[in-house]
Amino acid sequence: MTISQLPLSYCTNVHPGRSLAEVERGLDEFTVPVRQNFGAPLAAGLWLAQPVAAELLDGGESVLARFAEGLARRGLQCHTLNAFPYGDFHSERVKEKVYLPDWTSADRLEYTTRCARILATLLPEGGEGSISTVPLGFKGFAHSLDFEDRSISNLLELAQRLDRLASGTGRTIRLAIEPEPFCVLETTPETLRFFSRLRERAADSGVLEIAERHLGVCYDVCHQAVEYEDIVASIGQLASAGIRINKLHITCALQLDRPDENTEGREALARYVEPRYLHQTVASANTGAGVRSVDLSRALALQPPREFRQAESWRIHFHVPVDAESLGPLSTTRSQVKQALQAVAELKYAPHLEVETYTWEVLPEMRGERSSATLVEGLTRELLATRRLLTV
């Protein structure tokens, strides 16, 4: 199976990156050893938080040039950025704050524009890049009635900026909006409806061709699996609608089977409760997704309400290593990763492929673990397992 001629990447949001120095330390401590273990070209899917983007662009051309030279010296390529987390993604509590600022905000527009300028410098001449971003906002927040209209206005403005950047640099960069559970865009039907509306506005504004060229989705397999979507059908629907998948996040969710009788599984699941990230939990129903909880809690795991107990399974938005078919008494959605890779291989273009297991630090077995070698080994296993899936 050949999907892309570009090297596989893994997202560096798994490492703290609150300053440029911290980003470069992470590359040296983790990314370079992983590349050496991987034994093949590897791309860094860089997460550059807003303060890091500011350092790279506000320190003069020499700062960004040195950073680009440093990537090349380390034997790393970069074709995609993760501009979803705007601020500190490794603070004690991130949870729903990761969705701020949303796409009605000028801060989100300016940050994403700056990331595009940085990526245009990192890409090879004539290269194409992608930037993943928040799915407009979080459903748990209060939004104005014109929230979607204001989001569309900013997205169309970004598309025009990306088009001008392409004209000036010869490098095409595409935005990848990433649907996620409990967000304004979470399901494939919601995404289809939104892009239909966005295209109507783009056509009315005379920028439809620009919007279609520069605006698409980041398909995170974990997220759509948590929604109990048919992965192959979902990707097919996006393709049929002409919505470009600019990036594929190769990710696995946790799954608890037979929750009513599986006490051991629920006890194991309780160990995944942690204070940093949001772990949206969805229980299955006969027709797909059923009852839902915005976050995993010990009470939900150990003393679930009746409607959760009666489900056939639960899926939890907790990115677990993509080489794992199971984790003790818990299973994973790795089979959906295989389905996604097979489905995107049928597309007429090649999405950027990125392993994004950002939760290594908060996995039960990793808490308190300070060994760089342990994380390097885990990341290497994920990438090698993914390469095997791509070469069958």
Report the chain's mean pLDDT, rounded to a whole number: 96
Rounded-to-integer distance, Cα 74 and Cα 160, Å: 33
Go through the domains of the chain in sequence order and give each one's CATH number: 9-251+333-390 (3.20.20.150)
* Distance from chain centroid for Cα 103: 16
Rounded-to-integer distance, Cα 35 and Cα 284, Å: 39
Tell me the per-residue pLDDT of 185-200, one tens digit each, with 9 for 90 and over: 999 999 999 999 999 9
Choose the weakest-confidence range: 59-68, 82-91, 128-137, 159-168. Answer: 59-68
The 10 Å Cβ neighbour count of residue 115 is 27
Tell me the per-residue pLDDT of 325-346, one tens digit each, with 9 for 90 and over: 999 999 999 999 999 999 999 9
Pairing of strands 43-47, 215-220: unpaired
Q: Is the pLDDT of residue 285 over 90?
A: no
pLDDT at 296: 98
Terminal Cα-to-Cα distance of the chain (whole angstroms): 6
pLDDT at 55: 97
Tell me the per-residue pLDDT of 119-135, one tens digit each, with 9 for 90 and over: 999 999 899 999 999 99
**Averaged pLDDT for residues 366-382:** 91
Q: Is the pLDDT of residue 101 over 80?
A: yes
Residue 59 or 190, more confident: 190
Banded model confidence at residue 288, pLDDT cuts 50, 70, 90: low
* Amino acid letter, 282: V
Rounded-to-integer distance, Cα 87 and Cα 16, Å: 11
Question: Which tokens belong to 259?
Answer: 């929750």
**Averaged pLDDT for residues 95-115:** 98
Please give the model's pTM, rounded to 2 decimal places.
0.97
**Averaged pLDDT for residues 222-229:** 97
Rounded-to-integer distance, Cα 79 and Cα 16, Å: 20
Banded model confidence at residue 1, pLDDT cuts 50, 70, 90: low
**Cα–Cα distances in angstroms (integers) from residue 356 to residues 222, 241, 285, 321, 353, in the given order:** 10, 26, 28, 9, 10
**Averaged pLDDT for residues 131-141:** 98
Banded model confidence at residue 300, pLDDT cuts 50, 70, 90: very high
| DSSP labels, 134-187 | --S-BTTS---TTHHHHHHHHHHHHHHHHHHHHHHHS-EEEEEE---TTBSS-S
